[in-house]
Amino acid sequence: MQRLTNKQIILGITGGIAAYKSAELTRLLKSAGADVRVVMTPSATEFITPLTLQALSGNPVHLHLLNAEAEAGMGHIELAKWADMVLIAPASANFMARLASGQGDDLLTTLCLATEAPICLAPAMNQAMWRDNGTQNNTATLTKRDVKLFGPGVGEQACGDNGPGRMLEPEEIANHAAEQFESGALTGKTVFITAGPTREPLDPVRYISNHSSGKMGYALAEAAIEAGAKVKLISGPVNLPAPARLECISVESAQDMLEAAQTDLALCDIFIAAAAVADYRPTAISEHKIKKGSEEIMELHLVKNPDIVATVAASSPKPFTVGFAAETRDILDYARSKLARKNLDLIIANDVSRSDIGFNSDENAVTVVSHSGAETLPQTSKRKLATLLIDKIAAQYHHKA
């Protein structure tokens, strides 16, 4: 269930008797760390009140499509983009029919059309409704469209019948939802990831650093865990909580970071250098705080820092090494030359001159440059981008291996 941590889940509730179980499902998803936004069909509100779901999810419940106020808040397209998964539990026979025929006649169906996130259904209906040819055809259509089905289970039903059509228990649904976030692409592999800035001290209270927030590296670490990897995250000073299920080593300077990167490097299959490492550090660190003097200009003497990613790429055995190129101009040219010069396997280039993406932002857009070509991934959240990047890194790693 840990794979639900920080996942953004839309829980769609449709008009079935099992809607009362959606309250427990909301609670379970929330306690597993997911951010849950509930969307209800008008029929669903006859079975359970939005107020209950609002209290349990901690978010307003979304009910209407054609509502100016709701659209001005988090509109249907924004909701569709926000979601990492759209989970509909219970999914009524009627809802499945509407989804299978591509309708967008209410908020939930429209959102399903608009989202690129995976859609998962937990069907819940009377056994005869489930067995009906119409429902079976709709199920086949939806499965062909990559919609995932959780259940239904078999057993005693609210109407007294016995057979297939029971909604799975909330715990089973939450477990299936968590499984969807596991790719297994890096199962058994060890991944080292550096993240955040470095701090190069001048004296006991001052340092040279940069604006890196660490968000990209941390998102990559979470995505690598979800892909089944064992992860060592080597982090400069950031304001982010350490993700669960990984070894997190906190460092300050570039030299500390290199030392942590080289420790057990022989065990590392993939090295991802997402940290913004200072190229230079002060030649000397003053033992005491440097005092303001009478001089108008102060000179700082700097010395080159070790190049962490190049050092790793030059080691033997060499892990599959991925670098980042944060540039403000001629991005692709710089990325290609860095790839060759540092003997990297892959480089992820991004434009840090844009204020809407990159450093300190929650979003990014990158170009993945390999020895065989380049592919641009359009702007999206760093979390979503991280999943895409880990998939690409895993594919290239396995191709090379």
211 contacts: CB under 8 Å, gap ≥ 6: 197, 276, 359, 360
Find the binder of ligand FMN among 45, 54, 59, 94 (CB under 6 A).
94
Q: How far is the CB of 127 from ligand FMN (least distance, A)?
A: 11
Nearest CA to 76 out of 35, 118, 47, 105 is that of 105
User: Is residue 107 near ligand FMN by the rule CB under 6 A?
Assistant: no
Closest to ligand FMN by CB, 152 vs 243, is: 152
User: Is residue 95 near ligand FMN by the rule CB under 6 A?
Assistant: yes
Q: Are 192 and 265 in contact (CB under 8 A)?
A: yes
User: Is residue 45 near ligand FMN by the rule CB under 6 A?
Assistant: no
Query: Number of residues in contact with ligand FMN, rule: CB under 6 A?
Result: 15
Q: How far is the CB of 8 from ligand FMN (least distance, A)?
A: 23
Cβ neighbourhood burial of 372 (10 Å; 0-12, 13-18, 19+):
exposed
Q: How far is the CB of 106 from ligand FMN (least distance, A)?
A: 7
Find the binder of ligand FMN among 8, 22, 26, 92 (CB under 6 A).
92
Q: Are 30 and 1 in contact (CB under 8 A)?
A: no
User: Is residue 125 near ligand FMN by the rule CB under 6 A?
Assistant: yes
Find the binder of ligand FMN among 41, 138, 198, 380 (CB under 6 A).
41
User: Is residue 93 near ligand FMN by the rule CB under 6 A?
Assistant: yes
How far is the CA of 388 from the CAs of 224, 270, 312, 331, 350, in angstroms? 11, 16, 24, 20, 15
Mind telling me the catalytic residues? 159
209 contacts: CB under 8 Å, gap ≥ 6: 197, 198, 199, 200, 237, 278
| Degrees to nearest 5, angle at CA 322 with 316 and 328 | 135
Q: How far is the CB of 59 from ligand FMN (least distance, A)?
A: 20
User: Is residue 124 near ligand FMN by the rule CB under 6 A?
Assistant: yes
User: Is residue 139 near ligand FMN by the rule CB under 6 A?
Assistant: no
Q: How far is the CB of 95 from ligand FMN (least distance, A)?
A: 4
78 contacts: CB under 8 Å, gap ≥ 6: none
94 phi, psi to nearest 5 deg: -65, -45
Which of positions 309-368 make contact with ligand FMN (CB under 6 A)?
Answer: none
What is the widest separation between alpha-carbon atoms in the chain? 91
Nearest CA to 123 out of 28, 48, 18, 38 is that of 18
Closest to ligand FMN by CB, 92 vs 253, is: 92
Closest to ligand FMN by CB, 151 vs 358, is: 151
Distance CA 246, CA 231 (A): 5
User: Is residue 151 near ligand FMN by the rule CB under 6 A?
Assistant: no
User: Is residue 103 near ligand FMN by the rule CB under 6 A?
Assistant: no
Closest to ligand FMN by CB, 121 vs 326, is: 121
Length of the chain: 401
What would the two tokens of residue 253 be? Answer: 């300077």
User: Is residue 168 near ligand FMN by the rule CB under 6 A?
Assistant: no
241 contacts: CB under 8 Å, gap ≥ 6: none
3-state secondary structure of 9: strand
User: Is residue 43 near ligand FMN by the rule CB under 6 A?
Assistant: yes
Q: How far is the CB of 139 from ligand FMN (least distance, A)?
A: 12
| Selected range binding ligand FMN among 11-19, 62-70, 180-188, 355-363, rule: CB under 6 A | 11-19
Closest to ligand FMN by CB, 4 vs 18, is: 18
Q: Are 312 and 321 in contact (CB under 8 A)?
A: yes
User: Is residue 14 near ligand FMN by the rule CB under 6 A?
Assistant: yes
Binding site for ligand FMN (CB under 6 A): 14-18, 41, 43-44, 92-95, 124-125, 129
